Amino acid sequence: MAADKTTRSETFPSGIASVGLGEVEREVPLDDPPPLPPNAGLAVIGKSVPRQNGRAKVTGATRFTVDVTLPGMLHGRILRSSLPHARVRALDLSAVARHPGIRAVLPVARPEDPVAALVRYIGAPVAAVAAVSQSAAEEAMRLIHVDYERLPFVADMDKAREPAAPLVHDAASAPQGSASGFPAPRGLPLNGNVRGPASDSRGDAAKGFAEADIVVEGEYRTQVQMHCCSEPHAIVADWRADGVTVYMSTQFTAGVRHELAETFGLKLSRVRVIVDGMGGGFGSKSTLGAYGRIAVALSRQAQAPVRLVLDREEEQMDSGNRPGTWQRLRIGARRDGSLTAISLLSYGTAGVALGAGVGNMAQALYACPNFTGAQHDVFINAGPGCAMRAPGNVPGAWGLEQAIDELAERLAIDPLVLRDRIDPSAVRREERRIGAERIGWQKRHAPGADPGPVKRGLGVAQSLWAANVQTNSACEVRVMRDGSVEVLSSVQDIGTGIGTVMAQTVAEVLGLRPEDIALRIGDTEYPAGSPSYGSRTTASITPAARVAAWRVLQSLLREAALALNAAPGDLIARDGRILVRDEPGRSMGFGEAAARLRTDRISAVAARGDDYGGFRRRMEDAALAQQDLGGVQFAEAAVDTETGIVRVERVVAVQDCGRPMNPLQIESQVHGGVVMGLSYALFEERILDQHTGRMVNPNLEQYKLAGAGETPAIEVVLLENYQGQSATDAYGMAEPATISTAPAIANAVYNAIGVRLRSLPMTPAAILAALGKIPARS
């Protein structure tokens, strides 16, 4: 074994910096770099480096997909169903085809096909055109004649569960899979409009409840939330004889490239996907999507570039959403707080699609020997849901973290003390300690204790999220003969500033400044990078960037070693110079060393290796790290008990992400997560008119998002949690940052007024109703 050893042993820092660091031994591949010291010992990584594209963004120079114009570009538009459920008996495209401005016409609904003839929600695509101008495309919409046969529909989850409810799908059209988020096992039963249950259990829940001294039980509801990306879904598809180039606002250039190749029967080498600036995605831009396929098909037909940008109404009706859920949670505990059993029953709806589970919060957050869970998806005639920032665990936390607070109160144990007893995570224990101190937990009073109509309260909630890694993420680092450096990957900057983090990583290795590193990202011409979803981008791409930089540095050091008359192994790169480790006087500039290169440039490509300590689970090109991510958030809320208005005054968010690579950018992510969670807690809701199945607030006026006026003071504390698992030991946090906000606010509201809100959003009407202030109607 010793003879062909491909790894070496290394000692890594390990543990939580604020608690005290220890060491861990890991086997690492021979050509991986040495362990990275804790942030305190680094020059660039772990520092708050401003994002490289910040100036371009705030001055309007950034080019978003909506800004792309190509010569001869056409404008696409989709005709959408105005009925929630109908059979398209006839689709007459003859008039539109004669319109002089129309260059391509595409039927989407197909009357001749028993499945494709059906539209199942308002906003479902029926046909599409490409026209010489936007107004011609809009005119064309009025020239398409659709003969619909109306079918009965159902737009409410509870009604859809009734035996006599109209069926949204039949066995052939109903999507397969489970309610438990992802991955979705196929083959779950379909009963009317209900798919499931997806079941999970351990121990013996019945026995556990029998052993309990106290059982709390509650029903929790969450509304449908929309993604509301500031940049709409947008694509410019340019089909040519030699292949297709697609400019697209996407969270995964490399994935869209694969989808395009498969959908249109092309070799990967003939497909290129590009995204420059991006205005958010939150899960709704993970795939090519129906509108993407339509744009490419129109471009192929017209033999010209086609631009397709969804308007806000299309965004709200047909670009995905966070499914609505209902769950019943029962938790049994002994007097000392130890949990004896948890049972979870959930129904959720992602409209015509699947994925409306409540995640794994109840299963996995707390130590409990007995668990039983059954989750179901309910189909209704409404736009399809899709992944949205921490899918599943956001509604999951809404229930679980309130139930745990309720249990704490019944046991007369402080909610933090109870969590100390039942939460096995050392990371969250430290996060609770830090957060409690920051928010001033000791001043928390009994529920409803404030005198006067405006009552204040403090609340806490925790989060759990798997640390995802995309194992096929790759990155290239190039050093040019003039000393300039490039980092290249198809990974896209969804708005988080990942490019800047890559520049920091490479700069740290090469002894340069982050601004010395040129970024080439968001283009599948470069090595395939990771998707920007599942909070995995930093975890996946930064180790590859460090390894590639390390390897290219070794080549450069070999050149420098000749000039400095030293062994390459004795050289280090620091402060823009290459120097001999123990004799810093013997050195040369980085550029001088580069000038000695034989060729114009040297380069190395590296892929994300496996976590040094191994993964917990692997799924094709993705994997789960051993240790989960999470965080603890504290909220302080003021409730006006006369008007029902809730104002969140302060949020303290203590989050972990392994090694924090760039605190400034991570804080921005946490701010975004908190505001999104607050907005979910208090304002947002897709409202469907029950008589017509139409969303009545498909805009950003009546669909209410929290604004600057509603944003609380947000304090972010980042844990440094080292595990010695990769070349950077960095993981994600964008999703956990939004999981616990709403339940923390709900627990604060309870602490303020002594009444528990179990349904979202907590509008003034809901608060006044909970307080018993709304008179019964006569």
Partner 1 sequence: MNRFAWAHARGIAEAAAAASTTVADAMAAPPGAGGDEMSIVKAGGIDLIDLLKENLLVPAKLVSLKDIPGLDGVVEEQGGGLRIGAMTTLATLADHSVLRRRCPVLADALRGSASAQIRNVATLGGNLLQRPRCWYFRAADYRCLRKGGGHCFALSGENQYHAIFDNGQCAIVHPSTAATVLVALGAAVELANAEGAQRQVLLEDFFVPPHRDVQRENDLKPHEILTAILLPQLPEGLRMAHVKQGERDSFDWPLADVAVAFDLDPEGSCKRAAIILGAAAPVPHRARTAEAALRGRRIDEDTARQAGRAALDGAMPLAKNAYKLPLFEVLVRRAILAAAARQ
Residues forming the site for partner 1 (CB under 8 A): 82, 135, 138, 642-645, 682-683, 687, 689-692, 694, 696-697, 701-702, 704, 706-710, 763-765, 768-769, 773-775, 777
Task: Give the integer Cα–Cα distance in Å for 187 and 764.
Answer: 43
Give the nearest distance from C-beta 773 to partner 1 in angstroms.
Answer: 5
Residue 397: strand, helix, or coil: helix
- Identity of the residue numbered 370: N
Q: Is 534 left (phi over 0), alpha (psi -120 to 50) or beta?
A: left
d(CA 544, CA 372): 40
Residue with Cβ nearer partner 1 (664 or 687): 687
Q: Given its phi and psi angles, is residue 203 left (phi above 0), alpha (psi -120 to 50 degrees) or beta?
A: left
Tokens of 740: 């616990």
Name which of 134 and 263 has its Cβ closer to partner 1: 134
Across the chain, which distance is largest between two alpha carbons, in Å?
96
By C-beta, is 598 or 777 nearer to partner 1? 777
| Cβ 82 to partner 1 shortest distance, Å | 6
Provide the minimum distance between the beta carbon of 678 and partner 1 in the complex, in angstroms, as a whole number. 11
Q: Give the chain's end-to-end CA distance (angstroms, integer).
A: 85
Shortest distance (Å) from residue 319 CB to partner 1: 18
User: Residue 316 or 747: which CB sits closer to partner 1?
Assistant: 316
In the complex, what is the shortest distance from the CB of residue 710 to partner 1, in angstroms, rounded to a whole number?
6
Neighbours of 183 (CB within 10 A): 11
* In the complex, least distance from residue 529 CB atom to partner 1, rounded to whole angstroms: 37
What are the start-end ranges of the E strands in 305-428? 306-309, 324-333, 339-349, 371-378
State the minimum distance, in angstroms, from the CB of residue 28 to partner 1. Answer: 52
Residue 47 or 312: the one with the smaller Cβ distance to partner 1 is 312
* Nearest one of 762, 673, 774, 765 to 718, comparing CA atoms: 673
Rounded CA-CA distance 420/605 in Å is: 45
Question: Least Å distance between CB 251 and partner 1?
Answer: 28
Q: Which is nearer to partner 1, 428 or 694 (CB)?
A: 694
Structure tokens at 213: 């001294």
> Which tokens sit at 713?
């003071």
CA angle centred on 176, ends 171 and 181, rounded to 5°: 145
* Shortest reach from residue 696's CB to partner 1, in Å: 4
- Return the closest-CA partner of residue 311 out of 103, 121, 123, 63: 123
200/710 with CB nearer partner 1: 710
Decide if 764 contacts 225 (C-beta within 8 A).
no
CB of 63 to partner 1, least distance (A): 24
Residue 309 sits at the vertex; the CA angle it makes with 306 and 310, to the nearest 5 degrees, is 140
Of 64 and 683, the one with the shorter C-beta distance to partner 1 is 683
Angle at 469 between CA 467 and CA 470, to 5 degrees: 155
Q: Is the dihedral of CA 276, 280, 286, 292 positive or negative?
A: negative
Q: Which residues contact 363 (CB under 8 A, 6 or more apart)?
A: 200, 342, 344, 371, 373
Q: CA torsion sign, 303 to 308 to 314 to 320?
A: positive
Least gap, CB of 555 to partner 1 (angstroms): 54
Question: Please, what is the minimum distance in Å from the beta carbon of residue 697 to partner 1?
Answer: 6
Pairing of strands 243-248, 271-274: parallel
Per DSSP bridges, beta strands 629-640 and 646-656 are antiparallel
